[in-house]
Every structure is written in C-alpha cells, then in structure tokens.
Structure 1
C-alpha cells in the first residue's frame, strides 16, 4: 500500500468476510506492506491490528517501490500460501476462492489474468498491450499478457523467490523463471474503490525498461547486430564513393549526404550507449550489495503486547 488510507477499511471488511468462509480449513493472516505512505494508512492499520490479531504490517523506512515492497511481503509472510493483491481493490477479493480451489488441486502458482480493465484510459490499455508484445520478443522466459502480481503462491514458490535477493527486480519475470505448476484464473479488474492512481506514464515507461533490461540480454545482442549491419553498409558506401570518385572525380554536392550519415550514425551510437549504460547502472547498484529494503516497524498485536510487557518490566526494575 502507498497512500491508500481511503481504501483500507473497505479492503479489510471484504477480506474478513471472505476469510469467514474458510474457518474450518484455514487460518488467515492479513499482511500489509506500507511502502512509505505519508497519509493515515499506518494509523488505520494499527487500529485494525489492535482489534484483529490477524492484521499485521511491514512498515518500510521509505518508499522503495512496488517490486521491493512485494519482496518484504514474501520475507514476512508465514502461511503455507500467500495471495498478493493491491490495496486499492482493483484486484477483486471475490476471485480468491477460485485461486484457493486451484491450489487445493495441486497448482503452486495460480495467477489472475485480466479479461477487462475498468476505469483505465484507452491510452494506458493500448500501451499495456504494446508493452507485452515487445516484452514477449525480448524476454528469455515466456511472458503471459494481461497477467500481473495478483496471484496465489505456494510456500515452495515463496521460498524460491526469497532466495533471489537482487535489488533490481522484475517480479513478473521471476514468477516465470522459477517455474512450478501454474494455473490461470480470469477476473475483471475493478476501478479503484477510492482515491487516484499513483501510476504515472513515466512509471509505466520505467517498468517497461526494467522488464526488458532486467530479464533479457537481447538489447545488447541487438546493439551488436545493428553495429555489424551499419558497419557493413558503411563499408559498401565507402566502396561506392571510392569507385565513383575514381571514375568521375570528386564532387562537392555530397555534403548533405555526409551530414545525414554522420547524424544517423551518431544518434545510433548514443542510443546503444544508452542501452549499455542501463545495464552498467544496474550492475553498479547490485555490486554495492545493499539490503533491498529497511523496516521502520513491524506492526502486530503480538508485538504490541511484547512491547508493553518490556516496558512494564523496565518500570518494575526502575
């Protein structure tokens, strides 16, 4: 969650009603990951946690981004399976029973596939389609269109993902990389229950670049192949220029052609240097070996009781 105070009470109400359907077979835990919210989100979670011991929260020290926030959730979840969902209720809790049913059949990664996207602009929908088409050609592992982070993961999947500690994460690619038995369930993505989306176009572009760079070396190969092709055409043009100069002599009118070629080659070089720079930048961040995230506080009713008990013991000693 990131600044989702307007949605949290309704989200808890729906999840609580859902969990009441499974009181015989399962115990539920509602683990919220606060990714640096600056609204009243934490206060609401603390209130919910005081009244329901199942409500817990990993409060990160700042906004680390969704990919890292999900890793924090994987690290702190204790169940035999977890279900990942956004706090804005665009992922409908009514789909969860379908996921549990498939998990009971033995599937270990039950992913939700959007059949409709309510409340999203035409531009965002078309950009998403284009993104998945490009990613399909660049990725080294299969990519399933219209599939995000709304899914049920078995404990085997969770433990496998936890072993991957890279900070430059693209979790959608990691889901496919780890393998395991997968099953699709469809759902209609709702409009946000309240508030405005935190996603901006630049965030989508960054996600697209991270998806391609973090999960594939194809752009580097493309740089190599393009360099070979451009060098080949340049060599052929050099031969052509040499022959025409010998046969017809030198002419001045070739200046515009020369300018165009220089600008084209310079632009191409800068483009591919930029691609290489993206890879080097990610290597630079990874080799620092910093922890992916830092926790400000872990909120749970049990931890509150322990804190109170420690304070009482301190007061007695004093």
Structure 2
C-alpha cells in the first residue's frame, strides 16, 4: 500500500441536536487533540439538526472565535442520518472523521486513525471493545441487531462499529454517488467497501446531557437498517405462507380422516379460533413487511432532498460566499 502525505487536511464532522450542555466539552477536547497532533489545516464541521435549545447560538459563537469551525444550520430536524450526510457533503478535507458530540467516542483515537491512513488504508473503523457504559438492554438489543442484520443482508456491517471512523476523500466521493434519500449510513459505509482496518477502544459515558434515541427510535432504526440492505424479510413471508399452508392442509386432512373413522366432526372451537388468529397474525405481519418496502419506494419516488440548509456560519465559509 502506498504511503500518504504526513499532514493531510482533516475534516471532523459532528451532528448536534439539543447538545448545549456538551458543546464546551466537545470543542475543548477535539481542539486539544488536534493541536497535540500538530494538525494546523483542519476544520470542524458542526451540523445543527434543528435544535430547540441554544445549541445553534453556542455553535455560531464558537465559529466566530475559531476560524476552523464551520456551522451548517439545517432548516429543521431531519434526523441524525441526514445531518451526518450534510456534514460529510460539506467537508473539504483529505480525510473525514464523523464523531458524536457527546464524546462517548474518544477523540484521542484520531492520531491512531491518521497513522493507519498514512500506512495506506482508506477506511479506519473504530470498534467498541467494551460497551459497559451503555445499559444492559441497549447492549443486548445491539447484539441482536447486528446478528439479525448480518444474517439477512448481503452487505454485512462490522459489529459494534458506529459512525466514528476515518474515511479517505476517495471514499467520501463514492458515498456522494449513492442517490438514496432514506439513508442508513452504517450500511452505506460498508457498501462502498475500500481497504479498511479496525482499531478497538473502550466507549466512555456521555460528558453531558441525555441520549436522544429512545427505545422506539432504536427499533425503527433497526428496521430501517434491515430493510435498506435486504429483501430477506419478503422472502421470509413467502416461507411463512408455505409453512402455514402445509399446516392447514395437514389439519384439514386430520379432520377428514377423523370424520371418516368416527363419523363425527372433530370438536374444538378453541383450537379453531387459535388457528384463525394465528393466520390473521401472519397475514398482518406479511402486510406490514410489504408495506415497509412499499413505503420506501414511495419516499424515494418523491425525489426530495435528504436535507435543507438554512444558513452556514464560519469565517472560512463567509469568505467563500463573498467571493
């Protein structure tokens, strides 16, 4: 693998949604790490995803003090995947590093990532070797999601690897070619491929504030991920229909045989109701799965943009806009 330049332009991409309590900690930590690494040519792209608190105000004030900070203010809350897409689209660096603003993913890994990039890797993944900072239920559901997704999908995603990673400009340019609007970024990162390596770390607790992902949002996120990269659920409904039909045929044959032998119908109102309810449940699940895919087709067919930018802030962006 060819070695890269020693001092690339680095773009840090961080989505923000109601993170006013964490902003001060975030910039203090990230800028300290970059300064210690000797990075002089860098930018911190902050995407305000329709925050309701004073997140935008703090970000704008920071951008006025620090010329390295760029703020992209979206017109409303589009969700983390859209905000991450906006930040990646805005980034101008040779390497792009998405990171959460809550500092659960330690910025100290940036130096290790750059070393691996200089060695020739296009993507450097950060894998969570220890997730004890997350709750028990979140850890177990995450394990289940990775297991189910990778079993069903033709594009497996690395287990316990989030958005925190380093990507070469070539990888980001490839991501920009992908046209879908309902974006599951972990899957898109995996789909583009390129030469990658993995480093492990222990995930910390949030420096401030609370997580914005509720249990229901995590479930919807998992469904989004599975349906974005696999049609296996549709095939499973077909298999379920075949199995249920076979069981119904066996049940009907048993009724006929018993009637011929004993001369009476097979009693069992409760069992009949159970079978009817079971079949109804299978049908509703099947309709729901088909509806999920039809919904995705419907949203993609509209052709709406992934996000809308209300305004950009930052000395570098202001200079570019006045040219």
Report the TM-score range of the alignment, normalised by the length of the smaller protein: over 0.9
Matches within 5 A, 1:81-100: 81-100=95-114
1:264 aligns with 2:281: no
- Give the drift of 1:299: 1.1
SS of equivalent to 1:259: helix
Matches within 5 A, 1:212-231: 212-231=226-245
- Give the drift of 1:305: 5.4
Other-structure match for 1:301: 315
Name which of 208, 214, 226 aligns with 1:200.
214
Other-structure match for 1:106: 120
Moved >3 Å (runs of 4+): 302-307
- Give the drift of 1:250: 2.8
Partner Cα distance (1:306, 1:272) in 2: 52
1:10 aligns with 2:63: no
SS of equivalent to 1:5: coil
Other-structure match for 1:72: 86
SS of equivalent to 2:267: helix
Partners of 1:119 and 1:191 within 8 A in 2:
yes
Other-structure match for 1:186: 200
SS of equivalent to 1:29: strand
Partners of 2:258 and 2:265 within 8 A in 1:
no
How many residues matched? Answer: 308
Q: Closer, same or farther in 2 for the Cα pair 1:155/1:145, shift >3 Å? A: same
More helix by share: 1
Partner Cα distance (1:168, 1:258) in 2: 42
Partner Cα distance (1:129, 1:88) in 2: 22
SS of equivalent to 1:127: helix
Partner Cα distance (2:242, 2:70) in 1: 56
Other-structure match for 1:285: 299
Other-structure match for 2:8: none
Partner Cα distance (2:58, 2:281) in 1: 52
Partner Cα distance (2:74, 2:179) in 1: 17
SS of equivalent to 1:185: strand
Other-structure match for 1:37: 51
User: Mind listing any 5+ residue stretches in structure 1 that lack a counterpart?
Assistant: 311-318
- Give the drift of 1:198: 1.2
- Give the drift of 1:306: 7.1
User: Could you list the per-position Cα deviations for residues 195-245 of structure 1 after superposition, in whole angstroms to 9, with x for gaps in the alignment?
Assistant: 111111111111111111111101001001111111122122222222222
Other-structure match for 1:315: none
User: Mind listing any 5+ residue stretches in structure 2 that lack a counterpart?
Assistant: 1-15
241-250 vs 193-202, greater mean Cα deviation: 241-250
Partners of 1:165 and 1:292 within 8 A in 2:
no
Partner Cα distance (2:300, 2:319) in 1: 38
- Give the drift of 1:254: 2.8
Partner Cα distance (1:234, 1:203) in 2: 37
Question: What is the TM-score normalised by the length of structure 1?
Answer: 0.92
